[in-house]
Amino acid sequence: MTSTLLASKVRAVPTSGGRVSPNDQIGVAFIGLGIRGFYLMDAVKKVPGFRIAACCDLYDGHFERIKELGITDAFCSKQHEAVCARKDVDAVFIATPDHWHKKIALDALAAGKDVYVEKPMTLRWEDGRDFESAVKKSGRIFMAGSQQQSNPVNSEVKELIRTGALGQITYINGAIHRNTATGAWFYPVPFDASAQTIDWDRFLGTSRRVPFSAERFFRWRLYWDYSGGLATDLLVHLITATHEVMGARMPLRVVSSGGMFHWKGEGRDVPDHISALAEYPEGFVLSLTSSANNAHNHPFLTIMGTEGTIEYNPNRCTFYPEPMRDSYGYSTRHFTERARKLLVEKERLDPSSMRPLSSPPPGKPRDFAAEGDATELHVKTFYECLRERKQPVEDVAFGAQAAAVGHMVNVSYRKGKPVRWDDARRQVVLA
């Protein structure tokens, strides 16, 4: 992310496409002002070319919060349609619960707005087609918000893979573990949360009707009605990173298992542990795990090849050169001394280690560190794409695919069977 982000004074973003002068501001709206929405807002404030024009949420306290943060001139509404209709809004950031992503995104695109949708892009794998059709029809810029696609170490990792430093990669282990109540999405609920301060009917949307619950509103990731749980909230980061550095898109098949092993009887639908294996046509298996346990210094991804290993984390990765080094010590313990001596001579082995004399020694580990928050970089990428009127790398297809893998994990878990991706019909089917 090397381009200069210029300060701006006048807003004039064309809705029909074409480049925008760097001296013009882009008016943005935030639809969904929860934890992630405010995180995105912080990132937007660091991009001088953006101007916060409107905010939309269903809880009164969030409107009070934006005023505390100094945002006093933005239009505020509980109806996203009113925000999308505004002429001073050029792009929207959608950070609502997952079950509202599709409706709001399609309405915004139809209104001529550019769209950034937080991960997971979809609540169901079937929704990917509707997103892609709407983006194509609208001609607008669309970006999925899985920030690992903008992890600043990605370029170094991709270069190591491209040059063959890892050899043949056949296995990637990915894991995200959280051993706290808030990590398990049991977020604190504001004391003033009530049916008077929350638009409960609108929150439910097209989901099934249930009585008002402030806990469901603020802890929505615990319920299948509004979320895909661990697979689409956490594992999707690992999937996104794998797709980005490996150039992969969809696995052939997925099998998963899990359950509620720790947070039992706590009013949740989704499991607190999930493990899955995804086999990709590129010739590697991605192992995915998320649990409510401790994981000291566990890398996001461990990318394992025949010549080396990469431990991948946000802002940092370590490359371990590990060239293949045969050793005949174990496999010749039953040999006579004469047979061992003949093997040493024939294969040109070191008699003490029983390794080939030509075996390269293991190299020293190399650390790659990078500065910059991935979310901020992702938001800057969105800004630059709006300026240049170009689709980002994490476009609607990338976002749909990353989310679909998470949905495959959930389908396998809930059906108790492996699933596969039918590429011809673009469907998840039982294997």
Please write the tens of the pLDDT for every residue from 39-61.
999 999 999 999 999 999 999 99
- The pLDDT score that the predictor gives to residue 371 is 85
pLDDT band of residue 272 (cuts 50, 70, 90) is very high
Q: What is the pLDDT of residues 156-184, one digit of tens each?
A: 999 999 999 999 999 999 999 999 999 99
Give the whole-number percent of the chain exceeding pLDDT 70: 95
pLDDT band of residue 20 (cuts 50, 70, 90) is low
- Range name among 3-12, 169-178, 200-209 with the lowest pLDDT average: 3-12
- The pLDDT score that the predictor gives to residue 5 is 28
- Range name among 115-129, 182-196, 259-273, 395-409 with the lowest pLDDT average: 259-273
Q: What is the pLDDT of residues 287-299, one digit of tens each?
A: 999 999 987 778 9
CB 148, CB 375: distance < 8 Å? no
Best CA proximity match to 62, nearest among 35, 80, 91: 35
Look at residue 8 and tell me whether its pLDDT is greater than 50: no
User: What's the rounded mean pLDDT across residues 353-362?
Assistant: 83
- The pLDDT score that the predictor gives to residue 3 is 31
Pure H helices in 170-276: 200-204, 214-218, 229-233, 235-246
Is the overall model pTM greater than 0.85, yes or no?
yes
* Residue 135: C-alpha distances to residues 107, 129, 392 (Å): 11, 10, 13
pLDDT band of residue 10 (cuts 50, 70, 90) is very low
Query: What element of type H or E holds 353?
Result: none
Look at residue 327 and tell me whether its pLDDT is greater than 90: no
* Number of Cβ atoms within 10 Å of the Cβ of 207: 16
Q: Give the chain's domains with CATH numbers.
A: 10-150+375-395 (3.40.50.720), 154-207+216-323+363-372+402-430 (3.30.360.10), 326-359 (no CATH)
- The pLDDT score that the predictor gives to residue 6 is 26
- Interhelix angle 60-68/35-45, rounded to 10 degrees, is 30
Pure H helices in 3-142: 35-45, 60-68, 80-84, 101-110, 128-138
Can you tell me the distance from the alpha carbon of 14 to that of 381, in angstroms, rounded to the nearest whole number? 19
